[in-house]
Amino acid sequence: MTTPSSTLPPRSGAVTLQILSIVFYTFIAFFCIGLPIAVLPGYVHDVLGLSAVMAGVVIAAQYFATLLIRPLAGRLADSLGTKRTITYGLYAIAGSGALTLLATLLHEWNTLSLSVLLVARLLLGVGQGMVGVGTSAWGIGQVGPEHTAKVISWNGIASYGAIAVGAPLGVVMTSDLGFHSLGIALFALAAFALFMLRKRPSVPVIRGGERLPFWSAFGRVAPYGLGLCLASIGYGTLTTFITLYYLEQGWAGAAFCLTAFGACFILARLLFINAINHYGGFAVAFACLSVETVGFVFLWLAPSPVFALIGASLAGFGLSLVYPALGVLAIAQVPPGSRGSGLGAFAVFFDIALAIAGPLMGALAANAGYAAIFLCASGLSVVGLALIGWLSREGSGR
């Protein structure tokens, strides 16, 4: 079968434009995720009068739903097509917006409001999983598997950039317009994306050839996914506990660490987006994870906020290309007809890292202090380096 990738001109600029037109939907989805992320804990705690634990449950519900939906998203992308998978994800986000609006209108009945809000968060997680897998599979099918690293890189830039813009905007919006504006904004953004998507041609579903069940694809990508998980636990650690670490040290300006991490993450992807094709996934993953390890050592030993800022910057710079570098290697393990399942399975390991970082590092911090969690994060990165080295030797020995 002739695919669209075979008719694309080989110019890098043309490929990038094709990718950007697809990851636009990733940006919309993650912008919808970013808008409420900084204000919902305050709504649950201050407006509904519920505990900080319940505020955490509301935020975590989205990630839980994303983790569970990945297998279905992969199967839908492989069997029904990437455009339909994204469409279903945007419908879920629109539904989340409508229920978020309803929850805020019911704020006088805190238990009912919380219940509706939890369903809204679950739908948002479903939307995140569907759109994330759908856009990645669509992009690779559109421009060809030789540009897998570029597709994954731009998808990451779109998602991190959208959250970075959406989170502060959500704070300003709810301050000026009230919490009701969140649900309206989510619904309107999803509707706009659906309108833009309706007439776009998708890549055809690959018929024939080997098609793996999700768990078979999971098994094939698991070694590379484990490396991603070991690298990403540090990211979950930083975003969850950096504020408390700064408080323990008596420092101000923890938010600057998050800004430095995000800025260096995006900068590295923009500067070195072609490095994986030039040097190979193993070499790039090993180099980047080494830089990330040094960054967490800086955070562990930081005598001042300046050193902590340097550590966060190095961690963000290092983590930036680990996902696409290992992703290229992982997706090569599955046949083209199972690409969506492979992408979904690989993404599960990132979801697992974020899910376990909080309780794992929280328990360590309670017993050894917050500095120790960054030592642990660097140790996990070293284990990841050993795994990448072993996989590289295994691959070259075949």
d(CA 76, CA 82): 7
> What's the CATH number where 70 sits?
1.20.1250.20
Count of the separate structural domains present in the chain? 2
- The closest of 164, 186, 175 to 99, measured between CA atoms, is 186
Evaluate if residue 4 carries a pLDDT over 50. Answer: no
Asked if residue 40 is part of any domain, the answer here is yes
Q: Kindly calculate the radius of gyration of the chain based on its CA atoms and give it in whole angstroms.
A: 21
d(CA 340, CA 251): 45
Asked if residue 352 is part of any domain, the answer here is yes
| Claim to verify: residue 174 and residue 68 sit in the same structural domain | yes
3-state secondary structure 219-274: HHHHHHHHHHHHHHHHHHHHHHHHHHHHHHHCCCCHHHHHHHHHHHHHHHHHHCCC
Evaluate if residue 175 carries a pLDDT over 50. Answer: yes
d(CA 276, CA 288): 11
Query: Hey, which of 39-53, 291-305, 324-338 has the most confident mean pLDDT?
Result: 291-305
Given 138, 164, 197, the domain boundary residue is: 197
- Strand ranges inside the chain, DSSP E: none
CB 373 within 8 A of CB 237: yes
d(CA 143, CA 179): 41
pLDDT tens column, 108-151: 898 898 899 999 999 999 998 899 888 988 888 888 878 888 88
CB 321 within 8 A of CB 275: yes
| Claim to verify: residue 374 and residue 303 sit in the same structural domain | yes
- Per-residue pLDDT, 11: 63
- Per-residue pLDDT, 396: 56
| Claim to verify: residue 321 and residue 191 sit in the same structural domain | no
Amino acid found at 384: G
Asked if residue 332 is part of any domain, the answer here is yes
| Claim to verify: residue 280 and residue 181 sit in the same structural domain | no
- Per-residue pLDDT, 2: 38
Evaluate if residue 190 carries a pLDDT over 60. Answer: yes
CB 67 within 8 A of CB 355: yes
Asked if residue 29 is part of any domain, the answer here is yes
Evaluate if residue 167 carries a pLDDT over 80. Answer: no
- Neighbour tally for 247: CB within 10 Å: 12
Asked if residue 253 is part of any domain, the answer here is yes
| Claim to verify: residue 155 and residue 246 sit in the same structural domain | no
Asked if residue 7 is part of any domain, the answer here is no
Evaluate if residue 397 carries a pLDDT over 60. Answer: no
| Claim to verify: residue 296 and residue 386 sit in the same structural domain | yes
Asked if residue 205 is part of any domain, the answer here is no
| Claim to verify: residue 233 and residue 119 sit in the same structural domain | no
- Per-residue pLDDT, 8: 42
Query: Hey, which of 44-48, 88-92, 390-394 has the most confident mean pLDDT?
Result: 88-92
d(CA 330, CA 324): 9
| Claim to verify: residue 108 and residue 168 sit in the same structural domain | yes
d(CA 151, CA 142): 10
| Claim to verify: residue 188 and residue 283 sit in the same structural domain | no
d(CA 220, CA 6): 27
**Dihedral sign, Cα of residue 96, residue 65, residue 326, residue 144:** negative
CA-based end-to-end distance of the chain: 30
What proportion of the chain, given as a percentage, has pLDDT over 90? 34
Asked if residue 375 is part of any domain, the answer here is yes
168 or 223, greater pLDDT:
223
Given 197, 223, 250, the domain boundary residue is: 197
d(CA 135, CA 153): 12
pLDDT tens column, 66-96: 888 888 887 888 788 888 899 999 999 999 9
Helix axes 110-143, 12-37, angle to 10 degrees: 170
Tokens read off for 251: 């420092």
Residues 6+ apart with CB under 8 A from 136: 151, 152, 155, 343
| Claim to verify: residue 145 and residue 231 sit in the same structural domain | no
pLDDT tens column, 205-242: 665 555 677 778 888 999 999 999 999 998 888 877 77
| Claim to verify: residue 231 and residue 138 sit in the same structural domain | no
Given 167, 197, 227, the domain boundary residue is: 197
- Per-residue pLDDT, 24: 92
3-state secondary structure of 304: coil
- Quick one: pLDDT band at residue 53, thresholds 50, 70, 90? low
**What's the chain's average pLDDT?**
85
pTM: 0.77
> Which structural domain range is residue 220 located in?
214-396
pLDDT tens column, 231-274: 999 888 887 777 778 888 998 877 788 778 888 988 998 888 88
Chain length of the chain = 398
Evaluate if residue 12 carries a pLDDT over 90. Answer: no
What proportion of the chain, given as a percentage, has pLDDT over 70? 92
Tokens read off for 135: 């856009």
| Claim to verify: residue 73 and residue 182 sit in the same structural domain | yes
